[in-house]
Structure 1
Amino acid sequence: MDKAKALPSYLLQRYQGWKATGYAENQSWYRRLASEGQHPRAMVISCCDSRVHVTSIFGADQGEFFIHRNIANLVPPYQPDGNQHGTSAAIEYAVTALKVAHVIVLGHSSCGGVAGCAAMCRGEAPELEKKDSFVGRWMDILRPTFDSVSSIKDKREQERQLEKLAVVTSLENLMTFPWLKEAVDKDELSLHGLWTDIGEGGLEHYLPELGAFEPV
């Protein structure tokens, strides 16, 4: 591979600053993490969106969360078909190897992936309909739920509700993984659905008994 380049200077400067302060001040903690391995209490499945920073939201330190990020924080249904499944592999490792106690799905406002799904469902994104669109085919996971919000005339509100349905869809799909369902049924694992408003800093959690999200 001859196309890779050295880091840009601004990233090098940031690393050097962290090594001299953040790392130096917590060197023993980092060495303990390295020697004893990771023991996170929770797995977080969140969006790739650069504005979503789950460790900041919860004030988490290194080693607390096992984090997997993908477009629109989606979980596909259990499908052991021999293909490569990055999200499913991360879930398997978290649940069966790390034995996390919680799996959290974190959705957010102004999600570009969800907006793309809504546009595709409205017939406004032909580029996402193409077979070679990785984003489009990934958003097919959420596509069946669009009917639930299709009657909402305001596009922004429609997409906001679809963002929350993305979280619920992922929670439902998590339960199709047999070893995860077994852990939930034995009360060894709990599932949580969250949605955060980026601009307002708000956080809502999904309450199954209400079938809705409520502020925490």
Structure 2
Amino acid sequence: MKSAKPLPAYLVQRYHGWKATSYQENRGWYRRLANEGQRPRAMVISCCDSRVHVTSIFGADQGEFFIHRNIANLVPPFEPDGDHHGTSATVEYAVNVLKVAHLIVLGHSQCGGVAGCIDMCKGNAPEMEAKESFVGRWMDILRPKYDLVADIDDSEAQARQLERHSVVISLENLMSFPFVASAVESGELSLHGLWTDIGEGGLECYDPAAQKFLPV
């Protein structure tokens, strides 16, 4: 593999700093994790956005969260068609193997994926309509929810609402997985929908009874 290159110097320096401080101070804990395996109580599906830092938001340590990240924190519907399904595989592993008790979908403000979905639905992003656009075909998961925000004139308000809908549609799609539905119905698993405001540090939780997000 000739195209692979050495790690950038600043990352090498950060690694050595971590190894000499955080790792050294918690070496016993890291070795315990390695020897005993992981037992996370919760899985978090969040966006790839570098500004969303799940472990920081909840003050979590290594071994607490089983984390999966993708564009716009989306979960596709259950489709056992033989194709590659990274998100679906991660959900299956978390629920069936790790037996997590909580499955959290975390959306966020200023989501680029959601903004791209809006542009695509408005006809302003023809490149995303192309069959070979991975992002475009991924955002097709969210496209059905666009009709719910299409009449909102304020572009910022429209985006914030569709960001929240990206969480809701993911929760809906999770329940299309038989093993997820079974675990939820038996009380072994609970689903949670969250949305965080990056700039303000706010956190909202979806209330299915009220059908809206409420501050935590």
Same fold (TM over 0.5): yes
Q: Note if 1:153 corresponds to 2:153.
A: yes
**Over aligned residues, Cα RMSD in angstroms?**
0.3
Deviation at 1:127, TM superposition (A): 1.0
**Which secondary structure state, in structure 2, belongs to the residue aligned with residue 180 of structure 1?**
helix
Written as runs of structure 1 = structure 2, the 5 A alignment for 1:1-216 is 1-216=1-216
Encode CA deviations 1:183-208: one digit per residue, 9 max, x unaligned. 00000000000000000000000000
User: Match for 1:111: what amino acid?
Assistant: C
**Which secondary structure state, in structure 2, belongs to the residue aligned with residue 5 of structure 1?**
coil
Encode CA deviations 1:82-117: one digit per residue, 9 max, x unaligned. 000000000000000000000000000000000000
Q: Distance in 1 between matches of 2:93 and 2:179?
A: 11
User: Match for 1:97: what amino acid?
Assistant: V
**Which secondary structure state, in structure 1, belongs to the residue aligned with residue 95 of structure 2?**
helix
Q: Distance in 2 between matches of 1:25 and 1:42?
A: 25
Q: Distance in 1 between matches of 2:32 and 2:145?
A: 45
Q: Distance in 2 between matches of 1:3 and 1:146?
A: 40
Structure 2 unpaired stretches of 5+: none
Aligned length: 216
- TM superposition score normalised by structure 2: 1.00
User: Match for 1:197: what amino acid?
Assistant: D
Encode CA deviations 1:22-73: one digit per residue, 9 max, x unaligned. 0000000000000000000000000000000000000000000000000000
Q: Distance in 1 between matches of 2:15 and 2:146?
A: 43
Q: Percent identity?
A: 73
User: Match for 2:105: what amino acid?
Assistant: V
Q: Distance in 2 between matches of 1:117 and 1:157?
A: 15
Deviation at 1:155, TM superposition (A): 1.0
User: Match for 1:161: what amino acid?
Assistant: Q
Q: Distance in 1 between matches of 2:124 and 2:105?
A: 28
User: Match for 1:123: what amino acid?
Assistant: G
User: Match for 2:178: what amino acid?
Assistant: P
Q: Distance in 2 between matches of 1:143 and 1:179?
A: 25
Q: Which runs of 4+ in 1 moved over 6 A?
A: none
